Structure 1
Amino acid sequence: MKKRLGLLFLSISLIFLFVACSEESPTNEPAYIAKASDFEDSGFTSRSNQLIVVIGNELMISAYYGHSKEKSSIDKILELENVKSGVRFEKLYQNVQVKTKGDVYYITADDGVSLEFKKIGERIIVDEEGMEYYTQEYSKE
């Protein structure tokens, strides 16, 4: 009797083991895939009306610098450019490169511009400081 119970227990345990092993394991695929083309056309705008867009070989940053409590990665660029508070800033940076890996964008351009964003929604990205940016355009790819 003990042998049968042991064999039954072993059989049930093996069945559960096989079921657990055969289930699909969760992948580490990000929910949203970053594409360089996401920055083309309308680009992305933050709640603070900071715009970042790729136009051909140039990166355009347009922003109002107001020394708000909520800092963005673009604010750091404005500080490096010595933009005064209350002044509208707009500049085209040459030789832009947008590289992606999974859900992350890596953007570089002349004058030492280096930015990183993560795609968190179909039309939403977030910078390294936690500032969210939105686009009106859906990805064409």
Structure 2
Amino acid sequence: MKKSFSFFSLIIICVLLAVGCSEENNNYSSDLDAHKRDLDGYFFDSGRYQLYFKDDKMMINGRDIGKDKKSVLDEIYLNKGVELGGTVMEEYENVEVTTNDNKYTIKVDDFTLEFTKFKDHIIVDSENMEFIRNKLEI
């Protein structure tokens, strides 16, 4: 009886561990406060896109648009006529950055981006693509 109970307990523990480990963690919530100064003068790189913010300007460089990993920027540029797998180099002026809790809202002429501050050096777009802060402008 004692062996059966131990074996049954072991099976239940293994099942609970398997279920807990199998869930993908795409929850990029954070209790960090977002501030406009977090972006100004910095490059953020996702591997596909590079973002640069300075004053009220933003530059976006991107390659392999729409391939593999998804970003909210893929949809924006594909809708603007960039070919699948193409590249972009865009500069925007009069960019409005607002913050609320851990969110950055970036308004450009014809689109709006939203990022979550995941860590002090990582922001995440609405499609869960991470952008890592590289360096401060020199």
Root mean square deviation of aligned Cα:
1.8
CA distance in structure 1 between the aligned counterparts of 2:98 and 2:34, rounded to whole angstroms:
9
CA distance in structure 1 between the aligned counterparts of 2:39 and 2:79, rounded to whole angstroms:
23
Corresponding residue number in structure 1 for 2:50: 51
Aligned residue pair count: 107
Corresponding residue number in structure 1 for 2:124: 126
1:18-73 deviations in Å (ceiling 9; x for gaps): xxxxxxxxxxxx5311111222222311132x012222322211101343232101
What are structure 1's unaligned runs of at least 5 residues? 1-29
Q: Match of 2:73, SS? A: helix
CA distance in structure 2 between the aligned counterparts of 1:132 and 1:114, rounded to whole angstroms:
17
**TM-score after normalising by structure 2:** 0.69
Contact in 2 for aligned 1:54/1:96 (Cα 8 Å): no
Runs of 4+ in 1 over 6 A off after TM superposition: none
**TM-score after normalising by structure 1:** 0.68
AA in 2 matched with 1:43: F
Corresponding residue number in structure 1 for 2:61: 62
Q: Percent identity?
A: 29
What are structure 2's unaligned runs of at least 5 residues? 1-29
Contact in 1 for aligned 2:78/2:84 (Cα 8 Å): no
Larger radius of gyration: 1
